Amino acid sequence: MRGLRFLGTGRGRVGFAILAFVVAVALFGPFFAPHDPADILGAPGSGPSSSFPLGTDYLGHDVLSRVLWGGRSVLWLSLAATALSFVLGMAVGGVAGYSRSFVDPILMRLVDVVLSFPPLLLFILVVTSVGTSSLILILSIAVILSPGIARIVYSATREVSVRGYTEAAVTRGEGASAILLREIFPNILGPLIANLGLTVTFSVLLVASVTFLGLGVQPPNANWALMISENRDILSINVWSTLAPAAMIALLTVGVNTVGDAVSHALGLPQRRAITTVGGIEELITPAELV
């Protein structure tokens, strides 16, 4: 497969190794944790020792055990939010780009409204209105990330919808949904793949940010972002209680971005960068001729 060519580059191998390590820790770490992450085993804020290699946290939990347990929630929440954001973004962008009717400006103006809100402010507004849970967290992050994807899909769909194979499908009498699923979406995967790494990174950072603010995973659950928030007051006593989970989140984002860039390069796709605006994160749209 062409996409696997990224493993033939130094950047691709490094990124894959980093990502594989973090995913392995998140998935299999609980099987190797020396203690239950909820057990209070020692004095709060103790430094590394033979019994606790990374010391204890603010309550006396084993930091190593909580690090080994804390990646699953970050990983699955981020991936679930990313998957849902692509579903929403493709649905909105595809319908708006193909319809060429009054639906087009309505949907895209709704996209602009969502983009006008700072991401964290929008999330806090949703949580204070309907409460906090894993489902609400996933839905909120998906709503925040999907407008950027919708813009990419909208631009690409308008270009592909006037090509010969799409017009042939219209002539055959195929419905709009069939044309989108069979003719348009398979032919605009390039820009979406190029954007995937960036979207996963934003999802990880949003999950970490809202959890750090106390709006995501709640104690006593082990979570890398929650550990940073819980142990910031004992940073001067046991730096590992904060540094270890922060390093895992950093490695996850670096690994995802590096692999994403390497895959895009291997497939000959345009590299994508983000623009941070007052209203949130807005992505550069791939020129139509590159779709």
What is the full DSSP assignment across 86-132? Answer: HHHHHHHHHHHHHH-STHHHHHHHHHHHHHTS-HHHHHHHHHHHH--
Rg (alpha carbons) of the chain, rounded to whole number? 22
47 part of a folded domain: no
> Is 44 inside any structural domain?
no
pLDDT value of position 8:
67
Q: Give the pair of three-digit tokens for residue 51.
A: 């019994």
Alpha carbon distance 124, 136 (integer Å): 11
CA distances from 70 to 60, 103, 217 (A): 16, 43, 10
Mean pLDDT by 10 residues, the chain (291 residues): 63 88 95 92 91 93 95 92 93 86 84 83 78 84 90 88 78 80 82 82 86 79 89 91 94 88 69 39 37 34
Q: The pTM is what?
A: 0.82
Task: Please state, in angstroms and rounded to a whole number, the distance separating the CA atoms of residues 262 and 248.
Answer: 21
- Tell me, yes or no, whether 268 lies in a domain: yes
Please provide the DSSP assignment of 255-272 as one string.
HHHHHHHHHHHHTTPPP-
Q: CB under 8 Å to 176, separation ≥6 — which residues?
A: 95, 98, 99
Per-residue model confidence (pLDDT) at position 17: 93
- Is residue 41 in a domain? no
**Nearest one of 194, 86, 103 to 146, comparing CA atoms:** 86
Number of domains within the chain: 1
- Give the pLDDT confidence score for residue 267 in this predicted structure: 67
| Residue 109 belongs to a domain | yes
Q: Does 155 reside within a domain?
A: yes
Is 43 within a domain?
no
Confidence at residue 13, expressed as pLDDT on a 0 to 100 scale:
87
Q: According to the model, what pLDDT value does residue 275 have? A: 35
User: Which pLDDT score is estimated for 6?
Assistant: 62
Task: Provide the greatest CA pair distance for the chain.
Answer: 74
Residue 183 located in a structural domain: yes
- Give the domain extent around 225: 2-31+52-290
Helix 189-212 and helix 71-99, axial crossing angle in degrees, nearest 10: 140
Q: How far is CA 160 from CA 78, 183, 282, in A?
A: 30, 8, 23
Q: In terms of C-beta density within 10 A (0-12 exposed, 13-18 middle, 19 or more buried), how is residue 76 classed?
A: middle
Report the CATH number that the domain containing residue 179 is assigned in CATH. 1.10.3720.10
pLDDT at residue number 289: 34
CA 60-63-69 angle, 5° bins: 120
Kind plus residue range of the DSSP H or E element containing 136: helix 134-160
